[in-house]
Amino acid sequence: MSTPETIYLIPGEYEEGLVWCDDPAPDSYSDPDEAVKYVRADHIPDAGKVITDNSKVNAGLIAENERLQARVAELESDEQEMSGDNNV
């Protein structure tokens, strides 16, 4: 048995909760708008490009985080200097 390319998570008719299915509306009681579609990553066009783009975004966020941490350290140092001046 091979792994399907697409599966759906749908509200169960007789089971409580959600069930996996290969059809978004397997019967007349199912609403396909309530189904959540899952596609295998190896069947998504340009999936590698998405990962590359995400790594660029992550690198930018890491750089921004480092910049903000340095600024916080600078402000804390200034605050300590100011509180030290008040104690004189």
Number of CB atoms found within 10 A of residue 25's CB: 15
Which residue did the predictor score with more confidence, 33 or 12? 33
Give pLDDT, residue 84. 80
Region of 39 on the Ramachandran plot (φ > 0 left; ψ -120 to 50 alpha; else beta): beta
The pLDDT of residue 85: 62
In tens, the pLDDT along 44-83 reads 777 666 656 677 778 888 888 999 999 999 999 999 988 8
Task: Give CA–CA dist 5/30, Å, rounded.
Answer: 21
Total-model pTM: 0.47
Neighbouring C-alpha atoms within 13 Å toward the C-beta of 87: 6
Share the mean pLDDT of the chain: 83
